[in-house]
Amino acid sequence: MIPGPTNLSEQVLRVMSDPMLGHTSPQFYEDYKEAQILSAKLFGSQEDKTVLFSGSGTFGMEAGISTFLKEGDRVLSLVNGYFGDRFAKIAEIYGIRVKTIAFPDGVAADVDTLKKELQTEKYDAVSMTHIDTSTGVMNDIVSLGNIAKEHGAYVFVDLVSSLGGSKFKFEGGPFDYAYSASQKCIAAPPGASLIAISNALLQRSNEFKPRSYYFNLKMWLDVMKDPKIYLTTPTIPVIRALKIALKELFEEGLEVRVRRHQEMGELAWNFAVSRGWKPVSSKPSSTVIAIDLSLPISAAVKEYMLNKKNILIATGIGPRASNIIRIGYMGNTDKQLLLNTMKGVEEAVTAVKRLT
């Protein structure tokens, strides 16, 4: 019950133990192509504008920055926790002039603050995180994205902790670059990065040279058109496992899955509030909850949960990390499993407090 990597189905596990296929084998080409078609469908985008390749969520982040932003560009980074900040840090490495707006703990980015900033300063791009895994804050990325577009900025959005567990549609939305990863709501192993790119951003990138070989998404788009092109060796078992996980996701149905995640989010949030714990986010999110226990006991609670309940939860990241536990309900989880986890945490908190 950590916020990724998440539990794998039996079929996904099984394909990981198949004999190794060559990256030039017809079977792998087929698997890769199918995984790519399904990831484009998951984004609500088109295959020729999505990239699926080996890497983690940070691959998507850095590849987007290095391929589509140039030195001297101005980027406004909306920060609701650790991962929004990571985008800003990487952009700075590439010589991009970044301004961050860090929203107070637990508060989603608000449209008025964004509007005010964009009326004062001109930015080439705005970056935002759908759900920041460190705080569980979920942003209204459509409203924020619309404001950014009205002011002529490209919109970069981090879907690492939301794609496959939260409503999203790239086409027709105010987005230019979206990235996610295999190991969270999609319930595949870590090691595949999923990316969607707008036409406008693609055109812009013709104006300057890419600044990386591995991260050059224009080369990866060529591979997507024809997976027989060799660029670098893919993480073959991961991509094959991702294909199975994506098929399972669409068998469940995206809408059903999104609703399931929303309901789990409400369950976790209501449980925490009813026990007098303080969720870091002021509203429930669809995939992860961070809870402030108001005492530095998160490591002990985590240990109790693992030893006594055989359930792995996460501790906090960032400020007050030692007070915070995080519980993920992504991918192959259900309300019962989540409820057992919450009850386990209740027992753990009581036991740990008694000892301290």
Ligand X SMILES: Cc1ncc(COP(=O)(O)O)c(C=O)c1O
Instruction: Point out which residues bind ligand X (CB under 6 A).
Output: 4, 56-58, 83, 129, 132-133, 158, 160-161, 181
Residue of minimal Cβ distance to ligand X: 57
Where on the phi/psi map is residue 136: left (φ > 0), alpha (ψ -120 to 50), or beta? left
Q: Minimal CA–CA distance to 289: which of 83, 138, 87?
A: 138
56 vs 262 by CB, closer to ligand X: 56
- β pairing state of 177-181 and 192-197: antiparallel
158 vs 352 by CB, closer to ligand X: 158
How far apart are CB 49 and ligand X at their closest, in Å? 21
Dist CA 217 CA 178 (whole Å): 13
Dist CA 294 CA 301 (whole Å): 13
58 vs 143 by CB, closer to ligand X: 58
Dist CA 32 CA 229 (whole Å): 12
Amino acid at 9: S
Helix (H) or strand (E) holding 305: helix 298-309
Helix (H) or strand (E) holding 34: helix 26-43
How far apart are CB 86 and ligand X at their closest, in Å? 6
How far apart are CB 319 and ligand X at their closest, in Å? 17
How far apart are CB 268 and ligand X at their closest, in Å? 17
118 vs 234 by CB, closer to ligand X: 234
326 vs 348 by CB, closer to ligand X: 326
Q: Minimal CA–CA distance to 131: which of 159, 103, 109?
A: 159
68 vs 304 by CB, closer to ligand X: 68
For 161-301, strand residue ranges (E) read 177-181, 192-197, 278-279, 288-292
Burial 239-274 (b: 16+ CB within 10 A, else e): bbbbbbbbebbeeeebeebbebbbbbbebbbebbee
Is the bond into 26 cis (omega within 30 degrees of 0)?
no
Tokens of 352: 């740990």
How far apart are CB 103 and ligand X at their closest, in Å? 15
How far apart are CB 318 and ligand X at their closest, in Å? 12
- By the 8 A CB rule, do 194 and 245 touch? no
15 vs 128 by CB, closer to ligand X: 128
- By the 8 A CB rule, do 161 and 182 touch? no
SS3 27: helix
- By the 8 A CB rule, do 131 and 285 touch? yes
How far apart are CB 295 and ligand X at their closest, in Å? 25
Tokens of 226: 């024809």
How far apart are CB 131 and ligand X at their closest, in Å? 6
How far apart are CB 129 and ligand X at their closest, in Å? 5
Tokens of 242: 């991702």
